[in-house]
Structure 1
Amino acid sequence: MAARPETARKILVYWMDGVIVLLALSLSVFVAVLVAEGRISVPHALAAEACLLGGFCLFPFLLRAAFDNRPRPTVRLVVSGVAALGAVLLVPSSPNEALGESSWSMVAFLWLSAVVLFQPMWAAVCTGVVVIVLTSAVVTVITGQPWQVVLPVQAFTAVTMVLAMWLWRWLWWTIRDAHESQEAKAGLAVAEERLRFARDLHDLLGHSLSVITLKSELAAKLATKDADRAAREMADVRRLAGESLAEVQLAVDGYQGIDLNEELDGVRAALEAAGTRCTVEARADDLSPGTRALLAWAVREGATNVLKHSAATRCAITIDGGVLEMRNDGVRGVGAGGGTGLRGLAERMATAGGSLSAGPTPTGEFLLRAAVPG
């Protein structure tokens, strides 16, 4: 469905926003505890908190800017990098604050995870090496730990956060590409069907219409010279026209000859595969073949609209006495007029003496109702 990839995108982005908020709150609480214990001064804490919040507040904008593609580095990316550097430098001054150092260095690694969304692989690797070396040096100087111990820990943390962000965006790209490929496949199938129909019509009518044209011209020329032969030619024209009409009707019937039960099964499978729970209640065994065919077309069109134009989570299909009702909860401001598919279906229903209506209901659902004489 058109709405589902966008829903997946929002879930992924908002999930990351939630992680950022939790991380920002935890580090802010850490700063407050340090101030309360007198380990750092209030100005020191305010400066550190400003850098912290600056980096975290800019991160959601960076994520949204680079989630669908790889843009060029922006001013926001540079500013957030400066804020992350300030946060790392404004670490607690006590050499025993190893945990605090580890937490603060995560701010730099979070910024690095955003950098990989903007840079090609080689540039991201170079930037990552610089960030890991700088943060490791700061941690080594402040805590007094050997760099041989600090560097592997910092490198592991940085690589883990960068890979997590890269996989996060790759998951969205996979969802988006899969949806686009489905749409392309559906469009290709429609185009192929149109070409096949056009080819069939050409094969059926091309020869017959050419012969009809020639015989009509011949009859017109013979009308004043040989009336009997002109009459025979026009009789052939009439015969050929009748045969051509019958052939076209057979071709159209082949396109229209869909089975209602098969269509209901196919629609239910398609909707449930797209995440829409579908229930079917059909009592149509006593209906005529023509009525069943019309209802099958209505079911197909209704399901197409649900898949293309709604965000439905459930759909109910009922058929009773030549009356079809399809209800779904995915109303998105669709009017009763509908698109070209619904208009064509309404014309077909009207030709058969039936009716079609489609539009939102007072209960917040979308209802497609088709009534066909049994």
Structure 2
Amino acid sequence: MAGQALTARKVLVHWMDGAVALMALAFVGMVVTVAVEGKVSVPHAVAAGVCLVGVCGLVPFLLREAFDTRPAPSVRLVAAGLLAAGAVALLPPVSTASGDGLWAMVTYLWLSVAVLYLRVWAAVCTGAVVVALSTAAVVLTTRQPWQPVLLVQAITAVLMAVAMWLWRWLWWTIRDAHDGKEAKASLAVAEERLRFARDLHDLLGHSLSVISLKSELAAKLATRDAAEGRAAREMADVRRLAVEALAEVQVAVDGYRTLDLDEELDGVRAALEAAGARCEIDAATAGLSPAARALLAWAVREGATNVLKHSTATRCSITIRDGALEMRNDGVRVPVLLGEATGGSGLRGLAERLDAAGGSFTAGPGPAGEFVLKAVVPA
């Protein structure tokens, strides 16, 4: 897409360059014509031609300065204006149609470029002055009625200025569309990174917490000869959890994030009881949609992970009714256990996940001194 935008810019700029080059040839041709007809002297014609070519030579540089932004008036803009005024001053007295065209075109070519540098009110004022002076010059030298001359001059000034402004607006539209696509692509990448980080935390946080707990328990049991069998079982569980964690990383990488709610409830019960916390589960999940079951499974997993990592709970209750989950534990150790307080991002990521699905999420200490996690999903 970047290549297409640059190509569009080159086409527009070169198109304007070609138009200015054609105008320069027309100017030179008209100067030669009035010189051959004897309407102006050869020195005047040469000087006027130099001024006209100078204006046309500066215009491409001025256009490039003002093509991407609206800069402040520059020395080049002033120099082009003086050359245009010099060309008009050197050509009178001329009463032919070609002379009238010279007056209009060279002054309005400069005006069409000047409007790219000026604010609307300044451009209108400058245009009014240029039209008034050009009209006065034509009327004084050709003795034509001022009303039709003014109308022609005003129409010419407006058309050329608006055409140049629209030319730049076309490029700005193309550029903004390109920038919008680039921003959208960058946002998609950032969102995918956030999703992956959140999923990785959700997938591994629970498993690694249990692994840590079981490893500590196995280390303690290994110091007692009578508990060697239990220590071996705990280490076998550690190995199994490590294998599951590796599989979950692969799931996250593949982008498939489906959890089974019933399996998650069984796993949470086993993990909490192994940690010494009694777990009571009252779950009615039969009528839930697959998407609702998956969201509640994530909530159950994250809630259990926070119980294992951040509390000293001896009892935890899990209730699911009509798409609403409530987890309570009696192991509150700090006033607030949200991710911001603990430095983690699990509960915050869970809240974002539920909000995106049209659900709701709250977590914090309850009035009875318990930590309460509530998640509601569209049933």
Does the alignment reach a TM-score above 0.5? yes
Match of 1:23 in 2: 23
SS at match of 2:73: coil
CA distance in 2 between partners of 1:196 and 1:52 (Å):
62
Match of 1:290 in 2: none
Match of 1:60 in 2: 60
Deviations 1:187-225 (A, max 9, x none): 111111111111111111111101101111221222122
Deviations 1:84-115 (A, max 9, x none): 111122224243x1332123321110111111
SS at match of 1:233: helix
The CA deviation at 1:235 is 1.2
Higher relative contact order (CA 8 A, sep 6+): 1
Match of 1:271 in 2: none
CA distance in 2 between partners of 1:180 and 1:214 (Å):
50
Match of 1:327 in 2: none
Deviations 1:281-335 (A, max 9, x none): xxxxxxxxxxxxxxxxxxxxxxxxxxxxxxxxxxxxxxxxxxxxxxxxxxxxxxx
27-36 or 175-184, larger mean C-alpha shift: 27-36
Instruction: Indicate conservation of the 8 Å contact 1:98/1:143, yes or no.
Output: no
CA distance in 2 between partners of 1:36 and 1:4 (Å):
48
Match of 2:344 in 1: none
Match of 1:252 in 2: 253
User: 1:314-325 counterparts in 2 under 5 A?
Assistant: none
Residues 94 and 198 of structure 1: CA distance in aligned 2, closer, same or farther (over 3 Å) = closer
Instruction: Indicate conservation of the 8 Å contact 1:109/1:158, yes or no.
Output: yes
Which residue identity is paired with 2:87?
A
1:159 and 2:158 matched: yes
CA distance in 1 between partners of 2:81 and 2:254 (Å):
67
Match of 1:186 in 2: 185
CA distance in 2 between partners of 1:72 and 1:176 (Å):
21
Match of 1:352 in 2: none
Please give the TM-score of this superposition, normalised by the length of structure 2. Answer: 0.65
CA distance in 2 between partners of 1:253 and 1:80 (Å):
62
Match of 2:134 in 1: 135
Instruction: Indicate conservation of the 8 Å contact 2:109/2:160, yes or no.
Output: yes
CA distance in 1 between partners of 2:253 and 2:13 (Å):
49
CA distance in 2 between partners of 1:94 and 1:4 (Å):
48
Please give the TM-score of this superposition, normalised by the length of structure 1. Answer: 0.66
Identity across aligned pairs (percent)?
66
SS at match of 1:118: coil
1:237 and 2:200 matched: no
SS at match of 2:223: coil
Instruction: Indicate conservation of the 8 Å contact 1:88/1:105, yes or no.
Output: no
Match of 1:305 in 2: none
User: 1:93-108 counterparts in 2 under 5 A?
Assistant: 93-95=93-95, 97-108=96-107
Which residue identity is paired with 1:158?
A
The CA deviation at 1:37 is 2.2
Instruction: Indicate conservation of the 8 Å contact 2:218/2:234, yes or no.
Output: yes
Which residue identity is paired with 1:187?
S
The CA deviation at 1:132 is 0.6
215-224 or 155-164, larger mean C-alpha shift: 215-224
CA distance in 2 between partners of 1:78 and 1:190 (Å):
47
Match of 1:169 in 2: 168
Which residue identity is paired with 2:133?
L
Instruction: Indicate conservation of the 8 Å contact 1:51/1:84, yes or no.
Output: yes
Instruction: Indicate conservation of the 8 Å contact 1:112/1:162, yes or no.
Output: yes
CA distance in 2 between partners of 1:125 and 1:115 (Å):
11
Which residue identity is paired with 2:109?
L
CA distance in 1 between partners of 2:237 and 2:66 (Å):
70
42-51 or 171-180, larger mean C-alpha shift: 42-51
Match of 2:341 in 1: none
For this pair of structures, how many residues does the alignment match? 255
- From the CA coordinates, give the structure whose radius of gyration is larger: 2
Match of 2:280 in 1: none
User: 1:1-374 counterparts in 2 under 5 A?
Assistant: 1-95=1-95, 97-225=96-224, 226-254=227-255
Which residue identity is paired with 1:229?
R
Instruction: Indicate conservation of the 8 Å contact 1:91/1:100, yes or no.
Output: yes
Instruction: Indicate conservation of the 8 Å contact 1:89/1:138, yes or no.
Output: no
Deviations 1:226-280 (A, max 9, x none): 3222212111111211222223323333469xxxxxxxxxxxxxxxxxxxxxxxx
SS at match of 1:227: helix
Which residue identity is paired with 1:215?
K
Unaligned 5+ residue runs, structure 2? 258-379
The CA deviation at 1:32 is 1.1
